[in-house]
């Protein structure tokens, strides 16, 4: 997804995802990037991607990468997970 430091980006993703009603998770990665796995309708995912590209007002988002994954379980809510690899 992208590199962030100290801007509360995961909480921003959580709020935006919950507002759209999508399921999944977001976490920091060891390399300083943020990763999310999200499930929703094409419209919901497009809207979320647009919001993530804007980011919270105190951030600067350089890029958002999207990869389709259809076989992963994302659960029934949206959550912030512990840091990943």
Catalytic: which of 3, 10, 51, 60?
A: 10
Catalytic: which of 3, 15, 27, 28?
A: 28
**CA dist 61 to 4, 12, 20, 51, Å?**
8, 12, 20, 10
Residue 50 catalytic? no
8 Å CB contact between 72 and 37 = yes
**CA dist 36 to 40, 47, 65, 85, Å?**
13, 15, 10, 13
Among all residues, which ones are annotated catalytic? 10, 28
């Amino acid at each position: 997804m992208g590199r962030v430091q100290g801007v509360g980006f995961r909480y921003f993703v959580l709020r935006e995802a919950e507002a759209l009603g999508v399921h999944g998770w977001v976490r920091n990665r060891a390399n300083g990037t943020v990763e999310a796995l999200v499930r929703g309708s094409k419209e919901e995912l497009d809207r979320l991607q647009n919001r993530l590209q804007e980011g919270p007002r105190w951030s600067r988002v350089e890029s958002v990468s999207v990869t389709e994954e259809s076989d992963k379980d994302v659960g029934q809510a949206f959550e912030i997970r512990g840091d990943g690899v």
